[in-house]
Structure 1
Amino acid sequence: MTDRLTALYDVENRWGRDDEFFLGVAGRTRARVLDLGCGTGRLTLALAAAGHAVTGVEPLRTSLDAARAKPGADRVTWRHGTAADLPDAAYDLALLTSHVAQEIRDDDEWARTLADLRRALVEGGRLAFDSRDPAARRWERWTPDASRRRLALPDGTVVDAWTELTEVRDGLVSFRQHYVFPDGGELCSPGTLRFRDEAELRTSLGDAGFTVERVYGGWSGEPVGTSADGELIVVARAAP
């Protein structure tokens, strides 16, 4: 991710109801919290400010550098890496937020990630993550007309942006994010997300040694399929 894309990411992904939800999952009692795929550290820093012992793990060096440069970053243990690099039984809570679970497209890699998370959690530790519900078909809104927006960067630059859906196949949804700058320069960021339904998530978690406690459909705790949020928000516990 380039520095420009990192700045655009922060503008497009400000604090929201999802962050409030995961901060609530962490609770007020000091815990050892893992933020896997922490990005530029929005939630990671808030968890540390709330008094938790937080480790942020991120595979993209530019995102991690941006996180480390933010106020309060000295309260967080930052690691460049993936779930495979996690120590054993080191955390009470693991979080994968901002739909980072969908970035893990290959099912074998997803299974390995869950196994690594189970290994990294203490017995009875919790795992929480979000994944868009494929039944909501949110990708149908990823069109230039429906997604067009204007983004104001911290330096005052205004960027025109939109999303272009490119392919939907076998549970994979591909798209391109377009960003056009005032000088005519354009950045194009492609992506592909894996959409897993509730049954797939439950099966994969069980296979990895987790017990599913709750699956919500929205950020206010709504049942699956009843919220306009169109989410699958999972809270699971590391089984003995």
Structure 2
Amino acid sequence: MRHGEFRHRRLVQVYDAECPWGPDDDFFRAVVNETPGARVLDLGCGTGRLTVALAAGGHTVTGVDPAGASLAAARAKPGGERVTWIEGTSALLPDQAFEVAVLTSHVAQFFVDDAEWARTLADLRRALVPGGRLVFDARDPADRRWEHWNPVDSQRRITLPDGGEVRAWTEVTGVRDGAVSFTHHYHFADDEELLSSATLRFRTEAQLRDSLGAAGFTVDRIHGGWHREPVGQGDGEFLVIAQASRLAPVA
């Protein structure tokens, strides 16, 4: 199943248990809070961990995701009623409706095709007010993180809210032209095994900067780690903070 941890009800529960609040959430919340009381877009919000927290912090938040099962889990979270939830893609975004847009948990890498990434950035530029900020994370390909996505290094046990345990591991199935394909394996206590496959695009810093510029964004800064280290000295990340140009991009 493609993207099963976002689309399959049972795997959504596993994803929530495996991905608690972390330093990435602290980073995004701190950046968003630099614009008090902002209208915030969380594109690819998933199960809404950060989305709900931003709403609790006084922002007016919209969470957008194409996966209905993830949005159902997000709506059910305490405080979920404070968020406007939309099932869909960036194509549905209204014009100039947000001061800040975030893409977290490496959502930016799910746009594998360059044309799809360009369309998404154009939608985000349209949805942000002039001068609005776009904040997202993407793994630095120089870190070669995928080399640890194998059945030995990726073995893990995930405890569910009901006390049940899931064994999980990951295997890479292909690496080509900056795109890495992989499959997550999930083995449940009742012997059901579910698979979730995906492909992520690893863009270089130069490629990210070029794509943002073409879409009408100016890069403010790029960090390499969750504590705002320089690129190459942090957590193997590109943490991008960009600003929507006050002029429309040239067609």
Which band: TM-score by shorter chain? Answer: over 0.9
Q: Which residue identity does 1:118 align to in structure 2? A: R
Question: How many angstroms apart in 1 are the aligned matches of 2:214 and 2:18?
Answer: 35
Partner in structure 1 of residue 48 of structure 2: 41
Q: Which residue identity does 2:166 align to in structure 1? A: V
2:183 to 176, 180, 187: 176
Partner in structure 2 of residue 24 of structure 1: 30
Quote the offset at 1:184 in angstroms: 1.6
Quote the offset at 1:183 in angstroms: 2.0
Quote the offset at 1:17 in angstroms: 0.3
1:11 to 17, 22, 32: 17
Partner in structure 2 of residue 188 of structure 1: 195
Question: How many angstroms apart in 2 are the aligned matches of 1:88 and 1:115?
Answer: 11
Question: How many angstroms apart in 2 are the aligned matches of 1:183 and 1:88?
Answer: 48
Deviation track 1:16-59 (CA, whole Å, cap 9, x = no partner) reads 00000000011161100000000000000000000000000011
Partner in structure 1 of residue 58 of structure 2: 51
Partner in structure 2 of residue 90 of structure 1: 97
Partner in structure 1 of residue 138 of structure 2: 131
1:200 to 195, 207, 211: 207
Deviation track 1:94-124 (CA, whole Å, cap 9, x = no partner) reads 0000000001111001000000000000000
Partner in structure 1 of residue 240 of structure 2: 234
Structure 1 stretches of 4+ with a deviation exceeding 6 A read none
Structure 1 alignment gaps of length 5 or more: none
Worse-superposed segment, 63-72 or 86-95: 63-72
Question: How many angstroms apart in 2 are the aligned matches of 1:72 and 1:226?
Answer: 36
Question: How many angstroms apart in 2 are the aligned matches of 1:166 and 1:70?
Answer: 34
Supply the RMSD in Å over aligned alpha carbons. 0.7
Whether 1:67 and 2:74 are equivalent positions in the alignment is yes
Q: Which residue identity does 1:67 align to in structure 2? A: A
Please, what TM-score do these two structures have when normalized by structure 2?
0.94
Partner in structure 1 of residue 3 of structure 2: none
Whether 1:157 and 2:169 are equivalent positions in the alignment is no
Q: Which residue identity does 2:83 align to in structure 1? A: V
Whether 1:77 and 2:84 are equivalent positions in the alignment is yes
Structure 2 alignment gaps of length 5 or more: 1-6, 247-251
Question: How many angstroms apart in 1 are the aligned matches of 2:227 and 2:92?
Answer: 33
2:113 to 91, 95, 106: 106
Between the two proteins, the alignment pairs up a number of residues equal to 239
